[in-house]
Every structure is written in structure tokens, then in C-alpha cells.
Amino acid sequence: MKPQRFLPRLSAGFLPVTLLSAALLTTACGSKAEPDLTARLLFTATGTYDARADEKIRLGAGRRRAIWHRNPPLPGQTVTVEYNSEARPAIWAVTVRAPGSLQAELLKGNSVFRTVRTPQGPGRLFTSGRLRDVLLRPVPGGLQLLTRGYATQYDNRQLPAFRPAD
């Protein structure tokens, strides 16, 4: 007499599909870690959060602006990104109004920088890492971070800050 099976017979592909489904559900429903501040800054600058922007404006000649008043992607009251739509990863400026501790946190997380002179006062030029060649400078009511490409194309008064140190 053959022993009876109490488990139903499963098809050969059932187990891998079940495991894959469980893995996808766990990944999709699990908590996602918030990117660090530098990553959020770069994601903001390069367009990852544009869908959440309160305003999107075409300024002409490939120049665009995205503005967040409610729920900005960075600490601050208002976040504005100006960029060249044809070369956005290289040509952008992020302005943050009422930034709170944003500057201190960025400098702490990206410690390789040098102090430079800008027309608005002392600035910081990041010299390595993810923010290499990004200038952090004061603006009325906040701060601005901009790339060398942005300075070259739209704000050449900032170019001396990008020159090598003596």
C-alpha cells in the first residue's frame, strides 16, 4: 500500500514564482531609507523631484525653472532650481530660501572644500566627492549652490570662485 500524500502536488514553477512574489511585496511594502542630504540635493538639481514641483517655468533658450513652495525636497521654505534643459546634470543652480541648517549639514557631509570669494561674500567650493565643482554661496534670505557650467553660461560673475587656489 502506497502512503498517502497530504500536500497537494505543486507545479515545478510554483515555488520560484511564489518566492519572487514574496520578495517583490517585501521590497515594495518595506520602508525605504530616505537618501542623504547630498543625494537629495543632487536629485533635486537633476530633476528627480520635478513631478512634485509647485511651478515649472520655461525661461527660453533651453533654460527652465522648477519651484517648490509646499513640501520642498530640501530643508527650507522655498527651493528653486534653474537649469539648462539640454545639459541639466552639468548646468544647474539650486536656491534655498530660509535654509536653516542646510549649509552646516552639507559642509559636514562633504568636508573637502575651500573657502572662496564671491560677489555676495565668502562661499565654499567643493573640491572632491559628489559635489565636486559646486559652489555654495550666500544669497539674500538663503543660499545657492551652482555648478561651474551654470556660472559659465548664466552667472559669469561667479567664475573667479572656480579658479584654482594659488
pLDDT in tens, 37-89: 999 999 999 999 999 999 999 999 999 999 999 999 999 999 999 999 999 99
What pLDDT, on the 0 to 100 scale, is given for residue 42?
98
DSSP states of 46-97: HTTTGGG-SEEEEEETTEEEEEESSS-SSSSSEEEEEEETTSTTTSEEEEEE
What pLDDT, on the 0 to 100 scale, is given for residue 6?
54
pLDDT in tens, 96-143: 999 999 999 999 999 899 999 999 999 999 999 999 999 999 999 999
pLDDT in tens, 131-165: 999 999 999 999 999 999 999 999 999 999 999 88
Rounded to whole angstroms, the Cα distance separating 135 from 120 reads: 12
Would the pTM of this model clear 0.85, i.e. be above it? no
